[in-house]
Structures are given as structure tokens and as C-alpha cells.
Amino acid sequence: MDDLLMLLLASVNETLTAAIVILTASLLLYNLTRNLTNRVARASAIVLACVTVVYICDVFIALEPSRGTLEAALRLQWIGIALVPAAMFHLSDALLATTGLPSRGRRRRVAWLLYLIGTLFILLAAFSDLLTQPIVTRVVAQRAGPIFPVYVAYFLVATGVAFVNVQRARQRCLTRDTRRRMGYLQFALLTPAFGIFPYSLLLGLSETASVGMLLLVNLANIVIILLLLFLAYPLSFFGTQVPDRVVKIELLRFMLRGPATGLLALAVIIFMRPATRVLGLPGESLVPFAVVAVVLLWQWMIALTLPWLEKRLIYSGEDADQIAKLQNLSDRLLTRTDLLQLLDAILAACCDYLQVSTAFVVALSDSVPELVASVGPTRPNAQWLQDEFPALLGLQAQTNAGATEIYPWHAYWLVFLHSRRSLDPDGEPLLIGFLGIQARSAQPDLTPDEQRTFQTLARRAAETLDDLRLQAEIYAALEGLLPQISITRTRAAQVEYKQGREPLPAADDVTLDRELFIEQVRAALRHYWGGPGLSSSRLLELETVQQALPQHDNNPTRALRAVLLQAIEKLKPPGERKMLNPEWMIYNIIEQRFIERHKVRDVAIRLALSEPDLYRKQRVAIEAVADALLELEQQYHSEA
């Protein structure tokens, strides 16, 4: 009975050890792919790497390799064991610096010294028995060497100072949320250190192999798993620029879809074999199918329960209502490609039902005709539309607004499409385009059924064009407004802690974040002739814009437009303008795309570029305008 219990406890220990490896490795990858530029994220990645190395070696030892390999694995564990106290101090230093108390050099030097000491312990463990001596008999154990007490002192001092540093950081927190998170960290931070401390060096060999000791180890492993999760939560908020809500959602989804899925698969692999052996089933054959079934079932459960979990754990009250509205908007909005595909389907239906080979839809944007969708070989070209457009407007003026009458025009029958949302200056439905099909005869000869079907399809085409216009306005508004939302998690963190040795940046400095500044310049250029990207821009706060107000009738939008034009003119090379000259490329792109408002396709043809190449060079040109604008602002401050 005791042997069976020992076997069960050993299997549970193996499972929990592998679970810790999965969890720490997952959290390490999560840190590496999110915000590794942040000091706290880098330091926590080192801590997690130390824990991962130790428990990977534990899993390897459980596989019962040869004696030499087993001894090598026991010594390899010391990479994590020796470095984790230094990594803990490093993390505590990064947390303290985050609260406004960066190291003046002393803490940095102490951290390097601790890493050096840890490296010396690794070398001693790898090449001598002074620190530890592996013992491999019926049970795997280690015997303490003569300098092991030195390691214990190093471990206790480094961990104790790390605890004190986090306490200092906690005292500097000003908000309830940051104080609570730092409190979580203060105790969860001890988990990696005490979770991988080599207790076996302090215990006898018989105690290590006892049932009571295995129970204690299993309980400790469960506590370590819970505390690692507890540690991951507050660390996720450091260095991120997204709201807390997004951080929580990302962490919840990652935990459910990553580590939780891995743990379930691992549990099935380990416990399926003994279970099938008891039932008399072929375990080796059933394990792959069982793993696949459990993973698929778990993913299905996540899809069902995730909205409920997010609502209960993350959203509350008004936040839930606001997020629901934003998600509903996202679900309802179609992209331009979606709407053009719908127009293609409508045109294909027209051709199929009326037995013609060509149909097309022309949209009117700023009174300029644009062929947005077409089916068939004889579609009209852009030049024909441009030449015939005045005559088409004259024909439309003779008809009743909103009517769906068919008019012969060259080799086509046309139906004018009107908006149901917008009115022209005369109060009539606004003309937004027209639908054309290949003419079957000189005059329309549709049967009553064909007439009704064609009118229905024409109305759907008008509704689709209307949606295309409306959603273009929504996208334009978002494109102009989103860059102006400048309060990120990074800026919020500046006021969540007591003021440190370095003063906070000036409140009116709109050029702190260069990427954000470039986004604001991009929005202002796209809305150069009107729109929220210009009228609501934070660029209006620039001193150069404020100084230009009197020269432009105290109109902020006109002043910003003038300053932007001044920055653009700084990019203009000397001499005669040449469209294909590389020196003129940046200026030509800005002038053609945003000042003259030509379409991407037309500008690409004029500059002899492909459209993808034009987009790449346009990004560079916008950055050049932003740099020129910054230069103007710095010039003003230096003169002032």
C-alpha cells in the first residue's frame, strides 16, 4: 500500500513539476513578446528563466536517465538556483526605479556584484563538490558542500533586500490600485526564490524519500503554481501603453489558451496510461486521441465561457455598456472591400437575371466620378467617365430625384442612384452615383418582372453606396481622432507614484512621444482641408501654432494648416521641380497626396512607383514632415 501511495505521489509530483515548467516558460515567452523594452519586464524575464531552468532539470531527472547524465542535470540546476537571488534584487531595483527612484549607481553596482557571485556559485557547482555533491542511489539527492552556508547567506541577504526594496516601492504608490499591485508583488516575489531553494541539501536521504516529504513537496508545488499566477498579474501592467482593461483581457486569454491548454494535455498524457491499464484498454493508442479530444473540448469551453468571464472579472457597470457598444460597432461595420464585394454580387445578379454581359457602378466623390465596381468585358474607362460626366449630370437634372427610371446612354442603360440619408442644397435626395448595364436594345425593353427586379437591385446598390460613404466618414473621423487620444498607461504611470529624483515632464509638452507625434501629423495631413484630424489635433497646442494665430484671424485650424505648409516647404529642394527626381520624391508625395488630394493610384503613376512602394515612401515622407515640424518648434523655443 505504501509503495502504491509513493508511486501515486511521485506521479503527482512529476505532473506538478512539469506544470511549473509550462507555466514559467509560457510567462517568459509572454514577457519576451510584449514589452521587453521595459526594465521590469526584462528583470522578471530573468527571474522566470531561472525558475524554468530549475524545473526543466527536475522533469529531466524524473525521466531516470543514466547516472552521469543525472549528475550533470543536478549540477545544471544551479544555473537557476545560483542566479535567482540576484535576479530578485534586479527586479526589486527595477520596480523601485519605476516609482521614481532610479539607482544613482549603488544599486546597479550591487546587482552586478550579485550576478557575479551567482556566476561563481555556478562554476563551483559545475566543476567541484565544494558547494554541492550529487548523490545517486535508489533516490536522487544532494549533499551540502563546505561553502553551502555561504550560498545560504547570499540567498537570504539578496532576497531580504529585494523584499525591502519592494516595500519602499509600495510606500511610494499614490493610488489604491498601484499600492495593491505592489503589495501582491511584495509577497509573490518571494515565490521563485523559496520555490527553487535546494532544501534537499538540508535534509537527510531517508527524509527525502518519505511519504510525508512527498506530500509536502506536492503541496509546495501547488502553492508555487498559484503564486506564479499571482506574480504574473501585477507584472503585466508595467511598461504597457494600453489600458488596464486590455492588459487583463490579454492575460486572461493567454492563460486560458496557452498554459491551461498545455496543462490539460500534460495531465491526459500522464494519467491516461495508468487509467487505461486498469480498464484493460490499449493506453498507447488512446493517448493521442484523448489529448486531441480534451484540447478541442477545452477550446470550445473557452469560446463559450470567455465573454462571461470577461464580464464578471474585468468589466463592470458603465464600462461593460461602453465596451458592448464599441464591440457592436466593430461587428456592424464593413470594410470598403466588404462593400465592394457586395456591389460585385449585385452587378453579377443584374447580369445573370437580365442576360447581359456587362454591369458597373460609378460613385460620385466630391463630384468626381469613380468606377468602384464592374462586371464584364466592356466596362467604361476613367477617361470616358470624366469626359461624359457633365452630360450625365445634365441628363440627371431632367429626371425626378430618387426615381429609378432607366435611361439609354451610348451602349448602356443607366439608373441614377440617390442617397436616402443626405440631401442636396435644393432639399432633394443627393445623387451619389449611377448603375449601368449593357443595353439589349436602343430603348429599355424590360418586362414588368425584370423591371421590378432591376429596380430592387438598383436600390440595393444605392444603399451599398450610401453605406460606403457613411463608413468612409466614420473611418475618416476615427483616423483623425484616435491619434489625439494621448493618455497611455506610460503617462498614467507618471502620476501614480510619488515624485522621484527626476521631475515630471512639462504638462504642455506634446512632443514627448515621437511615435504619437507622427500619428498626429499623419492625421492632420489626411484632414488637411478639413476634419477632426486637423480641427481637434493636439498639434494645436504647439507654440508655433499659437504664435501664428494673430496672422490667421485667430483661427486655430487655419494657423495649424499654415504651420504644416511651412514644415512641408522646408522639405522642398532648391531648383526646378521634377516629378521623377529622387531628391523631390518626399515633397512630391506630400504635395500630391495631401495638398492636391490626388488618389494613390494617380500619384503612383505620376511618380513611376508601385502602390506598395508609394505607401512605404509616404510613411517616410510623413515622418520627415513631423521632424520638420519639431525643428520649427525647437527653433521657436531657442529664439524665445
CATH number at residue 421: 3.30.450.40
**Quick check: is 495 in a domain?**
no
The pLDDT of residue 248 is 83
* Alpha carbon 451 to chain centroid, angstroms: 51
Q: Are residues 233 and 250 in the same domain?
A: no
Cell for 536?
481637434
Cα 53 → chain centroid: 29
What's the pLDDT at 300? 93
pLDDT of 277: 59
> Does any domain span residue 504?
no
Give yes or no: residues 248 and 235 share one domain: no
Assigned domain for 633 exists: yes
Q: For Cα atoms 197, 201, 207, give the angle at the middle one, nearest 5 degrees.
A: 110
Q: What is the largest CA-CA distance in the chain?
A: 107
Residue 236 and residue 246 in one domain:
no
Structure confidence at residue 396 (pLDDT): 67
Q: Which of 522, 529, 524 is nearest to 540 (CA)?
A: 524
- Residue-number span of the structural domain to which 223 is assigned: 2-241
Burial of 350 (0-12, 13-18, 19+ CB in 10 A): buried
What's the rounded Cα separation, in Å, for the pair 417 and 394?
Answer: 15
| Whole-Å CA distances, 623 to 7, 144, 518, 579, 629 | 65, 61, 6, 20, 10
Q: Are residues 134 and 71 in contact, defined by beta-carbon separation less than 8 angstroms?
A: yes
Do the domain assignments include residue 489? no
Q: Are residues 267 and 199 in the same domain?
A: no
Closest residue by Cα to residue 208 from 9, 4, 1 = 9
pLDDT of amino acid 208: 46
Q: Would you state the pLDDT for residue 151?
A: 92
Q: What is the pLDDT of residue 408?
A: 85
pLDDT, position 118:
93
Amino acid at 489: R
Residues 359 and 318 in one domain: no
Residue pair 442/489 in contact (Cβ under 8 Å)? The answer is no
The CA distance from 73 to 551, in Å, is: 76
Residues 24 and 158 in one domain: yes
Do the Cβ atoms of 86 and 111 come closer than 8 Å? yes
Query: Which of 332, 359, 382 is a domain's end point?
Result: 332
DSSP one-letter code for 373: E
In this structure, what DSSP letter does residue 359 have?
A: E
Does residue 213 sit in the same domain as residue 258?
no
The answer on 164 and 39 residing in a single domain is yes
- The answer to whether residue 58 is domain-embedded is yes
In the chain, the amino acid numbered 251 is L
Nearest to residue 78, comparing CAs of 151, 157, 153?
151
Do residues 358 and 438 touch, judged by C-beta distance below 8 A?
Answer: yes
- pLDDT score at 317: 58
Of 429, 432, 418, the closest CA to residue 365 belongs to 432
632 in any annotated domain = yes
Q: How far apart are CA 500 and CA 352, in angstroms?
A: 73
Q: Which residue has the cell 418582372?
A: 449
Asked whether residue 493 is assigned to any structural domain, the reply reads no
C-alpha cell at 426: 435644393
Question: What's the whole-model pTM score?
Answer: 0.66
- Shared-domain flag, residues 282 and 342: no
Cell of 142: 544532494
Residues of the chain with pLDDT under 50: 205-208, 401-402, 504-511
Q: At 605, list the grid cell.
A: 503613376
Predicted pLDDT at 278: 53
Together in a domain, 518 and 595:
yes
Residues 445 and 563 in one domain: no
Question: What SS3 state is found at 597?
Answer: coil
Q: d(Cα 39, Cα 219) in Å, to the nearest integer? A: 33
Q: What cell does 284 get?
A: 498507447
Amino acid at site 303: A
Of the three residues 312, 332, 352, the one that is the final residue of a domain is 332
**Closest alpha carbon to 40 in 112, 97, 103, 107:** 97
Give the chain's domain count: 4
Q: Where are the alpha helices (DSSP H) in 138-282?
A: 148-171, 176-188, 190-196, 205-208, 211-235, 244-257, 259-279
CA dist list (Å): 639 to 105, 113, 480, 542, 566: 37, 48, 31, 15, 17
Q: Same structural domain for residues 590 and 607?
A: yes
> Which residues, in sequence order, are bridge partners of residue 375?
359
Residue 590: its pLDDT value, please?
92
Residue type, 278: V
If DSSP codes are grouped into helix, strand and coil, which group holds residue 410?
Answer: coil
pLDDT of residue 622: 92
End-to-end CA distance of the chain: give it in Å, rounded: 88
Domain end among 477, 506, 533: 477
CATH code where residue 53 lies? 1.20.1070.10
13 phi, psi to nearest 5 deg: -60, -40
